[in-house]
Amino acid sequence: MERLTRIVCLLSLLGLAASSNEGALSLILQRMDRSADPCEDFQKFSSGKFLEVHEGENVYSLQNVAVQKYNEQLQELFDDLKDTNFIDESSVEEKVWQLYNTCSTAPKKTHSWKHYLQLVSPNLDLPWPQFTPRGGEWPQERFQWLVTLARLRRFGFKNFLIPMDLTTKSNDSSQLLISLGSHPIKTIPEVSDTEELLISLKVSREKAALLASNITDLESDLQKLAEEDNSLVQYMTTEEFEERTSISIGHYLEIVLGSSIDSGFELEVLQITYLEGLKNVIEKYDSEVVATHLVVGFIRYLKSMDGSESNGDPAMCAAAVGVLMQPASEFLYKNLHFGEEELQRNVEEVQRIFKIISNTFMARLADNRLNLTSAEVQHLQEKLSAMTVRVGNLPNVEDQRSFVTNFYSDLNLNTNLDYAEAQLKVLEHLNRKILEQLDRPIPRGKEFYLFHSQLNAATEGTFYETNNMIILPYLILQEPYFSPEMHDVFKLSYLGYLIAGEILIYYDPYYLSFDSLGNNSTLLGNFEEHQGYIDGISCLNRTETRAISYRVIDVLALELVYDSYFGKDSTLSKDQPCFFKVPLEQLFLLNFSQLLIGNYYGLGDPNDVSLHASVSNLKAFGETFSCPANATLNPPIRCTIW
């Protein structure tokens, strides 16, 4: 046996893949802090030297590394467009190049926030209060907050006042409708932050301090109002909405959509109590305060996009174009970055991993630990059978070029070297396209696509919520996420884990009320009241968590993927990597935990809390690290749901 492995090792060392694997393996060891006890603080043990090892490399998380690499690749690709003679002036290549080139070469002053505000005014013939000439008076009577909000929403403005999104109809998942009030204000920006932003717009210090404090008051009032709202989802027409809230939502929507609507236009309303109180809160404040709140919010929205404030830096411009023109960038990346066979091999591997995990989960559902009725088990299994995974947002059709060309056919970027103008034009175009999806059924199967406005490549690369589909961004087709040459233990321990998490999101009580087609169904609609679920949740809630639904996913995804790899039915490769003494079980958990470092979950728990919840509920963890029975991460009782 000894002899055999040595020979195999020597052989594989000759290949490049093997040597790069070895480098990654030794990195895994270097990041560990062996002075820590894995059974007490696994994060410290597995990753205690992470920042030290990567000092000076600008690496805080490995996911971030993948995004950086992706953006570098995009930049190379965009730079190459420079030397291409476009036969067709209206090609996507030409349009992408124009935006990228404008971003990297336009005068700096066209990147300034002030310039954006000059291009987007609060109303026709009304400038922002910040542009009132010295000694002049801002004609505040001409300010109408709802009109201004609508004018900004045309650029996709994600705002605190009336959050607006698209959602599928609950009884027909092929139709979209507008949903209002979905993202209540979570954290209020610091007063000093708002003040600085205003000063950067050349507002005097004195005035900025005053306005910032008023804006913060307004934001606190809005937050309070949102927190007091316990209302359930409601469906109503714009006419009913107007009666209840005294907000002329019809007029607002006509400006946002750029077309007229009838009074029976249907809306999903998530926070009616909040919306009913909104007008009163806003009217408590001076117009100047409200207008300035919108100025600040709009700039924050623009700032939150990848590559914002590039000031012409080509790397940041590439990142900006990557999200601003996502469909075009994805199309170019996919075709220029991969060879056809290479791409196919990658995608097949992703499908293989998905299938393995889905089979493990299917078997678990069949075991029916929760003693559900057979109709319920069938509902759960049908959902899983119907679930698909895809790499890329674009529809999986033969002629993607036509699709993308058509998508951009009405975007005309002129050759003015004005970056703010170009970005606003692209944003307005994108958001118009997104809203046009309201007018037709969502395509199904391979043809499926649903555009959202994406502000960041990393955090918004995947989305679910619809039609049982998991969409992964192209950037995952590279290390550290994945490469076709990787050992199966690494493919499963991270990409597998991500996919398992995405599958499980569909098994959250909220999504359980949707069937395999994505329509609402009465089966399992009240899963939250099921005793087995209640018991599982209260067990998982033994250690503190910020959000129980993320906790469920943290714990179950690891269980599912660990079981997929090490379970008795697994046929995945268990060859010990050469010259590497760490057992596969440990390697799996180390590789997994290092990839969580610096991962920002937003509403979920901090990294260490989430990692420790995952491993302490995994039976194999205690065994793998020979933890004593009284160790913190080796509790006598383990929790699970399914």
Ligand X SMILES: *[C@@H]1O[C@H](CO)[C@@H](O)[C@H](O)[C@H]1NC(C)=O
Q: Which parts of this chain interact with ligand X (CB under 6 A)?
A: 21, 24-25, 27-28, 62, 170-174, 210, 213-214, 217, 235, 285-286, 289, 369-371, 479-480, 486, 490, 513, 517-520, 522, 525, 532, 537-538, 541, 548, 591, 594-595, 628, 630-631
Nearer to ligand X, 408 or 481 (CB): 481
Nearer to ligand X, 165 or 172 (CB): 172
Sequence length of the chain is 642
Nearer to ligand X, 212 or 324 (CB): 212
Nearest distance in Å: CB 379, ligand X: 12
Nearest distance in Å: CB 36, ligand X: 13
- Let me know if 286 is exposed, middle or buried by CB neighbors in 10 A (0-12, 13-18, 19+): middle
Nearest distance in Å: CB 158, ligand X: 25
Which residues have a Cβ under 8 Å from the Cβ of 178 and sit 6 or more positions away?
164, 165, 166, 167, 253, 267, 268, 438
Across 625-636, b (16+ Cβ under 10 Å) vs e yields bebeeebebbbe
Beta-strand (E) ranges in 209-344?
234-237, 266-269
Nearest distance in Å: CB 256, ligand X: 21
Which residues have a Cβ under 8 Å from the Cβ of 29 and sit 6 or more positions away?
582
Q: How far apart are the first and last CA of the chain?
A: 40
Nearest distance in Å: CB 202, ligand X: 20
Nearer to ligand X, 330 or 488 (CB): 488
Map residue 389 onto helix, strand or coil: strand
Cα maximum dimension of the chain: 89
Nearer to ligand X, 245 or 593 (CB): 593
Angle at 392 between CA 390 and CA 398, to 5 degrees: 85
Across 517-547, b (16+ Cβ under 10 Å) vs e yields ebeebebbeebeebeebeebbeebeeeebee
Question: Measured between alpha carbons, how far is 279 from 146 in angstroms, rounded to an integer?
Answer: 10
Amino acid 549 reads: S
Is the distance from CB of 473 to CB of 68 less than 8 angstroms? Answer: no
Nearer to ligand X, 301 or 565 (CB): 565
Nearer to ligand X, 62 or 269 (CB): 62
Nearer to ligand X, 35 or 171 (CB): 171
Nearest distance in Å: CB 137, ligand X: 17
Paired with 388 in beta bridges are: 469
Nearest distance in Å: CB 428, ligand X: 29
Q: Look at residues 261, 213, 214, 219 and name the one whose alpha carbon lies nearest to residue 239.
A: 261
> What DSSP letter does each residue of 541-566 carry, written as one string?
TTS--S-HHHHHHHHHHHHHHHHHHH
Nearer to ligand X, 255 or 631 (CB): 631
Nearest distance in Å: CB 447, ligand X: 13
Is the distance from CB of 455 to CB of 308 less than 8 angstroms? Answer: no
Nearer to ligand X, 366 or 548 (CB): 548
Question: Measured between alpha carbons, how far is 477 from 407 in angstroms, rounded to an integer?
Answer: 25
